[in-house]
A and B are shown apart, each in its own frame.
Chain A
């Protein structure tokens, strides 16, 4: 995790007596500083380029759009003179799949992090913590492949059971989609974001002040009571921000979702057992057919909304981390 604690600054090398100063060439010093400053300027420029190019390419298409961008469910971008596109279904599928993934992953991640920090003997905890970290490195296309080819048949009966038991509830309503449902995508996304949420939660749980834990135990608390009264309250902001970072990952995840989700035509459904496309998978599915500027612009507009969405989520995570720093250090 990137914390932004500022180290105590060393003052610049003090200016020596005039005679000494002459001996030291200030030229290289200045050049080096320019190099460091220049690199930073390039990084800033990169962000500006991302913003400017996305907006400038999306703008003409947005202006020519015949449908409401935010609320329409249409997506016809083939004819540059009759652009009609809206992101409503993309927004829904992106958000609901990521939120369900987070709802599945966060409790499990907290359990794993607590297990690794407070339950498992160190001999077990270390290699398993390492294993979880390594699994964060499995490429997302492998998760997608596994989800679509291996996991799908195991999830289907579970899905059918949910459908028949809770079918009256809009989220669980039966649909014609059989294989690549939002539900399956959420499960795979949950598995994908589990390692990062676990790693960050583990880090904050480990930092719980020993004094708090000992105080709880000294008052006769059981291990669970100690965790509930000392570890969890201390770690809550960290866990919340870890969950937000996981959510940010899930929102932007492309290839796993693209592989799993069945694209749908016809009537829209709010059900988790429906297919559809997220922002990222919509763009990825169209990757080979960016042939006209107006068409590309429509997809870039969708990408822009995704960018804003992940930015907002990440910003919330950062605010929570920074606020926590205020009273623990």
Chain B
């Protein structure tokens, strides 16, 4: 980085119309030798911090991609299950796990999205005073729940109390506890960005409040809400802790959320993680890469929607 040192006096000459980032970036005060050295040291430290942060993150991605990609090139990976495949056998597919992960996430979203969006509508459009603050506080508590605690709660309710078994739907219930707060918060942010003039214009035309919300406020904030939903979904799809407690692994395809064990990508990774046989190791990394790809795709889609259609404030 070439630090073109403008003199401080020049900077002071017109502080007003300097655009914040670029102008300041190039300004480097003069001063005595030791101060200049300190400044240089700080610059080096910042660059080092950045390197230190990037190395492990790139390393992880590289490991997963390089170890797992060849599994994904086989067509059977996308169409078959692991039924009848032992730890020593190469091959087999991850269809059963992908189907489980996607179905559990879909049911989670189906419950969480209406709940979260309506709660956000309440907080922004209706809620006032102590009641709204209480709801907001409860959402904050939910935000901080560790995933293993969410899983224990559903275990206490679904299995200990009701006597049901460990099925896909129980997993979805625990993921709802984790997804609702993220949706409430992101939707709330988006609804707040909708300009009040739009609401006022609608009221002025005699449109009732609920219609204003449905026809004016929600469509304006729509893309932002979708972004929040996709990011929330990406987060819960990668969760493993609830699956350990509520969703035991199976090698077969099971599309029934209410009966029998249901596989998922995290439990598929977890299944063979202690094995050191080549076949099992490959499968583990293959499942890890598949999971990362799904989560990243959701993430990128969410951010792209958010980026290209922002609420105009």
Contact = CB atoms under 8 A, between A and B. Distances in A.
Nearest to A190: B56
A31 B209 CA distance: 11
Given A31-B210, A284-B244, A299-B152, 4 more contacts: A12-B209, A112-B53, A254-B240, A303-B149
Contacts of A161: none
A32 interface: yes
B84 interface: no
B125 A296 contact: no
Given A122-B22, A293-B160, A311-B144, A223 B118 contact: no
Nearest to B266: A141
Interface stretch (B73-81, B90-98, B219-227, B284-292): B284-292
Interface residues of A, number: 118
Interface stretch (B33-41, B102-110, B250-258): B33-41
Which one of B46, B142, B147 has the greatest number of beta carbons of chain A within 10 Å?
B46
Interface string B183-200: 011001100100010011
Given A13-B209, A141-B238, A307 B119 contact: no
Contacts, number: 329
Interface of B: 1, 3, 8, 11-12, 15, 18, 20-22, 24-25, 27-31, 35-36, 38-39, 41-43, 45-50, 52-54, 56-57, 59-61, 63-64, 114-119, 121-128, 134-136, 138-150, 152-153, 155-157, 159-161, 177, 180, 184-185, 188-189, 192, 196, 199-200, 203, 206-214, 234-235, 237-241, 244-245, 248, 266, 269-270, 273, 284-285, 288, 291-292, 295-296, 299-300, 303
A306 interface: yes
Nearest to A282: B148
Closest 9 pairs between A and B when the two form their complex, measured CB to CB: A111-B49, A252-B146, A139-B238, A39-B118, A32-B210, A224-B42, A254-B241, A36-B122, A222-B39
Given A194-B53, A220-B31, A300-B156, A288 B248 contact: yes
B8 A33 contact: no
A204 interface: no
A107 B52 CA distance: 11
Interface string A101-137: 0000001111110111011111000001011111101
A141 B185 contact: no
Interface string A1-43: 0111101111011101000100011101101110111111011
Nearest to A146: B60
A131 to B, nearest CB: 7
Which one of B50, B240, B244 has the greatest number of beta carbons of chain A within 10 Å?
B50
A215 B27 CA distance: 12
A134 B144 contact: no
Given A54-B152, A217-B24, A37 B43 contact: no
A40 B122 contact: yes
Contacts of B196: 7-8, 10
A279 B237 CA distance: 23
A214 to B, nearest CB: 5
B36 to A, nearest CB: 7
Contacts of A137: 234-235, 238, 295-296, 299
Contacts of B52: 108, 111
B134 A44 contact: yes
